[in-house]
């Protein structure tokens, strides 16, 4: 069955707005699990703008489902990952000035740098996923890297308007088929919402979607458990019935 990784970064964003202790992403993770999350995803950024080291360490011992750490290929964060040992690390690009991760990791353009980090993580028993744009050269570079999975960046699809939506979706289908052909596990994420998730969940071989902002935004109004449950229901029903794009 298709898996939902709930990204809890924005629970920490709200806490950091006042540099206080609430809301606690650790509590949010418990409620997300109760709502049916198959994984908890968090991004320990170099500037620590939302998730803090303490969050990662506590979540490592409290999360029962898959713990997925999004991280840049930076020595300091790698050291922490090797110490804390999440179940999965998703390598992402990171720029200090960006509001959120803006593009996929350029694996093809920096193979030796990425390989160094991938090797260290895998030696420690951590599964590696690479967050990449849905482009053949990036997928082929990821396959050469010997990683377990790739997460296709769905941001362009999410931001597309009118006819461009179909175009972007077509691109995701083509890229997903190549990911599967390369023997990699298929993940996707970024910008997915209750309105646009089903077409992505229905892509053949889709294994995991990582979704943050939309779930946390709804959780503010209806509660975390319900918001996760509603997203999971949409994904599972789309994957079962292959709902076409709207
Ligand atoms: N996947 C990756 C690799 C990300 O960097 C993010 C954002 O942190 C997400 C998924 C979730 O994106 P969103 O918050 O738009 O759902």
pLDDT, tens digit, 9 for 90 and up, residues 221-244: 999 999 999 999 999 999 998 645
Partners of 7 in beta bridges: 41
The yes-or-no verdict on residue 162 having pLDDT over 90 is yes
pTM: 0.96
Q: Which atom of ligand 1 is nearest to the CA of 216?
A: 14
Decide if pLDDT at 65 tops 90: yes
Q: What's the CA gap between 204 and 27, in Å, rounded?
A: 34
What is the pLDDT at residue 96? 60
Residues with CB under 6 Å of ligand 1 are 7, 9, 43, 70, 90, 92, 100-101, 131, 151, 189-192, 210-214
Cα(67)–Cα(62) distance, rounded to whole angstroms? Answer: 10
Between residues 97 and 42, the one the model is more confident about: 42
Question: Domain spanning 3-241: which superfamily?
Answer: Aldolase class I (3.20.20.70)
CA–centroid distance, 89 to ligand 1, in Å, is 13
Per-residue pLDDT averaged across 174-186, rounded? 98
- pLDDT at position 95: 75
Query: Over the stretch 192-225, which tens digit does the pLDDT of each residue have?
Result: 999 999 999 999 999 999 999 999 999 999 999 9
Distance of CA 43 from the midpoint of ligand 1 (Å): 9
**Which residues are the active-site residues?**
43, 70, 190
Q: Which two tokens stand for residue 221?
A: 């109004």
Element housing 89 (H / E):
strand 88-91
């Amino acid at each position: 069955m298709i898996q939902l990784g709930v990204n809890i970064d924005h629970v920490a964003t709200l806490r950091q707005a006042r540099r206080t202790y609430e809301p606690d992403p650790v509590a949010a993770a418990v409620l997300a699990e109760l709502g049916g999350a198959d994984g908890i995803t968090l991004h320990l950024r170099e500037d620590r703008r939302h998730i803090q080291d303490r969050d990662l360490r506590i979540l490592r011992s409290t999360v029962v489902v898959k713990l997925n750490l999004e991280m840049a290929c930076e020595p300091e964060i790698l050291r922490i990952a090797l110490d804390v040992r999440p179940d999965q690390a998703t390598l992402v690009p990171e720029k200090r000035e960006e509001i959120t991760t803006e593009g996929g990791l350029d694996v093809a353009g920096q193979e030796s740098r990425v390989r160094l980090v991938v090797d260290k993580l895998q030696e420690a028993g951590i599964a590696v996923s690479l967050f990449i744009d849905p482009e053949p050269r990036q997928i082929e570079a990821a396959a050469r890297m010997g990683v377990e999975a790739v997460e296709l960046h769905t941001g362009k699809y999410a931001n597309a308007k009118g006819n461009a939506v179909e175009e972007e979706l077509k691109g995701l289908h083509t890229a997903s088929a190549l990911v599967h052909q390369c023997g990699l596990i298929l993940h996707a994420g970024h910008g997915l919402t209750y309105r646009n998730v089903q077409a992505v969940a229905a892509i053949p071989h889709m294994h995991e979607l990582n979704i943050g902002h939309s779930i946390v935004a709804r959780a503010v109004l209806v509660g975390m458990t319900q918001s996760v449950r509603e997203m999971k229901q949409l994904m599972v029903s789309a994957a079962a019935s292959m709902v076409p794009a709207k």
